Structure 1
Amino acid sequence: MSLKEKLFKQLEDNEDRMIQIRRHLHENPELSFKEEKTAQFIEEFYRDKEVSITTNVGNGNGIIVEIEGGAGEGPTLGLRADFDALPIVEEADVEFKSKNEGVMHACGHDGHTAYLLILGEALIDLKDEWKGKIKLIHQHAEEEPPGGAKSIVASGILDDLDEVYGIHLFPTIDVGDITVCAEEAMTGRSNFELKIQGSGGHGAMPHTTNDALVAGGYFVTTAQTIVSRRMNPNDSVVVSITAFDAPGGYNVIQDSVTLRGTVRYLSMDNQEPIYEEMERLVKGLEVTYGVECTLDYVYDYPVLYNTPEIIDEIEETLSESAGSYFEKVYRDKPQAASEDFAYYLQEKPGAFIFVGAKPEGVENAYPNHHPKFEVNEKSLIISAKAMADIILKKIQ
């Protein structure tokens, strides 16, 4: 029996455990930087196994598990799964619904962790048959800036990696499909908060005020001209205002308003120009409306860049297995979402790929970050086998 056959058999034999782990994590979600019990669960999973475990890596609850292959020298590979949840009230109709009110695994990180735990266990059990070293990166705080990945990279614990890999589940992709994207695969992002300080007053006498609400309304619409008039139309750029905080009564013009939003871009060349255009727009608000503006603008996760040669290798490798444990692999367009896995890829060659997880009998699945988000649990074994397929080419 080949190493691949042994590895796949062990994954198949433990598929039910994989699903149960995912459901346990789904029932017990924890927010970014607060994943103490989840981190403890992961640490205990590896405690009696022949591995090196490093906890509290980076700026939170990150865990690095190092497995030494026993078949000689080889590459050092990093495999990453995130494990934080989101501040969302779950509305999905599942038996293993979140027990933590207002917290939900609405992005599939429970599935990422479950598949990597079982794959890691199989790699440990068969470590005498493969060469090199594998570092399992159980990462905290992907969802909340500054994220966990940047600090894990900065710790130096991954300096010896030759390549790094990750998988993300998407219920908007058919189960059985795996998609890959070379070069820019996910957007970079920046977040901002704008406070507009005016001079409030009586709703019947607006002429005696400097109306921050009007200035805010103008900003909401005019910010879109940054994309439509200042950016190259061939570039992918999004500016979204996601919050407009101006509580008050019927007859009171508010003294100040606060707006929040996000910016996405598929080229790092656009990161600073978007900020410069927004800063110019804000200065115009002050002059036009007689208000004072405070813009808090934060450069966040960078563009996720997949190494083209590695994507070519992955596509070739998975194409050989298409029709067995999954249906097909294909090239897809970049994802509009952002991911702090991008920090690993800034330092090391590698790839981040997407595994379809659409629930059975659903035409239009709820997307990631939706209160009714669900994944097809068949995607867990597909993810484990796909990652095994990819790394076996490197460590045999």
Structure 2
Amino acid sequence: MKNERWISQAEAIKEQVVEWRRHFHRHPELSFQEVQTSAYIEEQLRGFGNLQISRPTPTSVMARLIGEQPGRILALRADIDALPIHEENHFEFASQTDDVMHACGHDSHASILLGVAKILSGEKQSIRGEVRFIFQHAEEQVPGGAGQLVEAGVMDDVDAIFALHLISWLDTGKIGLLAGPVMAGNDAFDITVTGSSGHAAYPHQAVDAISVAAQVIVNLQHVVARHIDPLRPAVLSLTQIHGGSGYNSFPEQVKLGGTFRSFDQSERDRMPGLIRQIIEGVAAAHGATCELDYQPGYRPLYNDSKLVEFAREAAVHYFGADVLDPMQPTLGAEDFSAYLQKAPGAFIYIGSRNGTKESNFPHHHPRFTVDEDAMDTGLKMLLLLVDRWQSVQSPLD
């Protein structure tokens, strides 16, 4: 590594990074509501010096470190929002906000990026080009903060972008890298089945919306099974059903909700038509009607193969080959994909599973937490990427 002092500085501020993380964990804020979180981040950044700081949206922050030497622009992104989950951990730094907690590691991501900004802000004279630090709001809620930040110009002229995500299915110290498809596109949909209410004792005088909804659910299972190439991963899941309030009457309406996920944008584009065709056919066969409200979500996330190799070489050079995990694609979703419509990038997993520290609960679980030692790996990984970006020919050439 060219700048060994960066690693030394990372060691020196480990406790500060943990302190930032615990502050964020105590004071979580939901998507699009990160008022205090973004204000705290801005306050910390202004204390570092040498950074041009802006607020692209009311609850996000961007800092630009413009070096004294010409070069390309590298962006680093961290998400900062929390989830509507009641925390069941009993840490001294547990959430102080009822029914809101950092259950996905965004508190750690923000803290790691603050650490990188703190170290690099003192290196203005040796930085070539620009390093752009993006503290993004609302990753957890569609339409997502990433798209808003892209519209606000945070990716203008950016040559490449990286992001880290601490993950509880990889052991602490492991780094997960995957080229090509990493996360799926995620769409949501609502279906309203309308029949005709009536007395349960006289079903022939009503149109039973509940039984029609049951047929809709069964038939929608054929969408993936019979309309999508089995070699292309996809899933359609019904996750909500609401209808009825009495024991002796049929409700007029039943509402269903669900999600469709795929790596293939063309499959996402044709999905509303397929769902509508099936549900309207089922409903018509039983004298009912069906309405579909289809809500496109985040685009599929594809890592640039050259940047994944670039990151792999940086990780192996410092940590050794044993830290790497090849990973597998997941049908989860991430709005980091919005940035990748503007510049190539890579989304990197940092293992944070440690059973002795109870950091092995799944993401979005009320007992979720991270092994704080994993933040040291994340901090050093980002510094390694910046250092390598500064010192080698562009991996994109």
TM-score of the pair, normalised by structure 2: 0.94
Selected match of 1:64 from 55, 62, 86: 62
1:47-100: CA deviations, max 9, x gaps? 232211111x14x41211001123x11111100000001111112343221111
What are the within-5 Å matches in structure 2 for residues 290-305 of structure 1?
A: 290-305=287-302
What is the aligned partner in structure 2 of residue 102 from structure 1? Answer: 99
Q: Is the 8 A contact 1:172 1:358 kept in 2?
A: yes
The DSSP-based 3-state class of the residue aligned with 1:361 is helix
Counterpart amino acid of 1:65?
A
Structure 1 CA distance for aligned equivalents of residues 95 and 300 of structure 2: 32
What is the aligned partner in structure 2 of residue 254 from structure 1? Answer: 251
What are the within-5 Å matches in structure 2 for residues 123-142 of structure 1?
A: 123-142=120-139
Query: Is residue 383 from structure 1 mapped to residue 378 from structure 2 by the alignment?
Result: yes
Structure 2 CA distance for aligned equivalents of residues 387 and 327 of structure 1: 18
Selected match of 1:158 from 155, 166, 172: 155
Q: Is the 8 A contact 2:82 2:102 kept in 1?
A: yes
Structure 1 CA distance for aligned equivalents of residues 357 and 199 of structure 2: 52
Shift of 1:285: 2.5
Q: Is the 8 A contact 1:119 1:388 kept in 2?
A: yes
Unaligned runs of 5+ in 2: 392-397
1:122-162: CA deviations, max 9, x gaps? 01012222211011000001111111111111122321101
Query: Is residue 358 from structure 1 mapped to residue 353 from structure 2 by the alignment?
Result: yes
Structure 2 CA distance for aligned equivalents of residues 18 and 285 of structure 1: 56
Q: Is the 8 A contact 2:220 2:278 kept in 1?
A: yes
Query: Is residue 37 from structure 1 mapped to residue 36 from structure 2 by the alignment?
Result: yes
What is the aligned partner in structure 1 of residue 394 from structure 2? Answer: none
Counterpart amino acid of 1:181?
L
What is the aligned partner in structure 2 of residue 19 from structure 1? Answer: 18
Selected match of 1:346 from 325, 341, 365: 341
Q: Is the 8 A contact 2:358 2:369 kept in 1?
A: no
Structure 1 CA distance for aligned equivalents of residues 21 and 359 of structure 2: 23
What are the within-5 Å matches in structure 2 for residues 325-336 of structure 1?
A: 328-336=323-331
Structure 1 CA distance for aligned equivalents of residues 137 and 259 of structure 2: 22
What is the aligned partner in structure 1 of residue 313 from structure 2? Answer: 316
Counterpart amino acid of 1:52?
Q
Per mean C-alpha deviation after superposition, the further-off stretch among 282-291 and 174-183 is 282-291
Unaligned runs of 5+ in 1: none
What is the aligned partner in structure 2 of residue 374 from structure 1? Answer: 369
The DSSP-based 3-state class of the residue aligned with 1:357 is strand
Counterpart amino acid of 1:358?
R
Structure 1 CA distance for aligned equivalents of residues 221 and 16 of structure 2: 48
Structure 1 CA distance for aligned equivalents of residues 236 and 359 of structure 2: 25
Structure 2 CA distance for aligned equivalents of residues 115 and 80 of structure 1: 10
Structure 1 CA distance for aligned equivalents of residues 67 and 180 of structure 2: 30
What is the aligned partner in structure 2 of residue 278 from structure 1? Answer: 275
Per mean C-alpha deviation after superposition, the further-off stretch among 32-41 and 314-323 is 314-323
The DSSP-based 3-state class of the residue aligned with 2:70 is coil
The DSSP-based 3-state class of the residue aligned with 2:186 is strand
What is the aligned partner in structure 2 of residue 394 from structure 1? Answer: 389
Structure 2 CA distance for aligned equivalents of residues 289 and 38 of structure 1: 52
Coordinate RMSD, CA, aligned: 1.6
What are the within-5 Å matches in structure 2 for residues 229-248 of structure 1?
A: 229-248=226-245
Shift of 1:327: 5.1
Q: Is the 8 A contact 2:359 2:368 kept in 1?
A: no
Q: Is the 8 A contact 1:43 1:63 kept in 2?
A: yes
The DSSP-based 3-state class of the residue aligned with 1:315 is helix
1:156-211: CA deviations, max 9, x gaps? 23211010110111111111111111111110111111111211121222221111
What is the aligned partner in structure 2 of residue 337 from structure 1? Answer: 332
Matched-pair identity in %: 34
What is the aligned partner in structure 2 of residue 8 from structure 1? Answer: 7
Structure 2 CA distance for aligned equivalents of residues 8 and 249 of structure 1: 65
Structure 2 CA distance for aligned equivalents of residues 92 and 269 of structure 1: 42
Distance 1:3 1:320, change over 3 A: closer
Counterpart amino acid of 1:339?
E
Shift of 1:300: 1.0
Per mean C-alpha deviation after superposition, the further-off stretch among 303-312 and 215-224 is 215-224
Per mean C-alpha deviation after superposition, the further-off stretch among 183-192 and 353-362 is 353-362
Counterpart amino acid of 2:60?
G
Q: Is the 8 A contact 1:23 1:96 kept in 2?
A: yes
The DSSP-based 3-state class of the residue aligned with 1:295 is strand
Q: Is the 8 A contact 1:275 1:297 kept in 2?
A: yes
Query: Is residue 173 from structure 1 mapped to residue 170 from structure 2 by the alignment?
Result: yes
The DSSP-based 3-state class of the residue aligned with 1:369 is coil
Count of residue pairs the alignment pairs up: 390
Structure 1 CA distance for aligned equivalents of residues 358 and 108 of structure 2: 21
Runs of 4+ in 1 over 2 A off after TM superposition: 92-95, 359-365
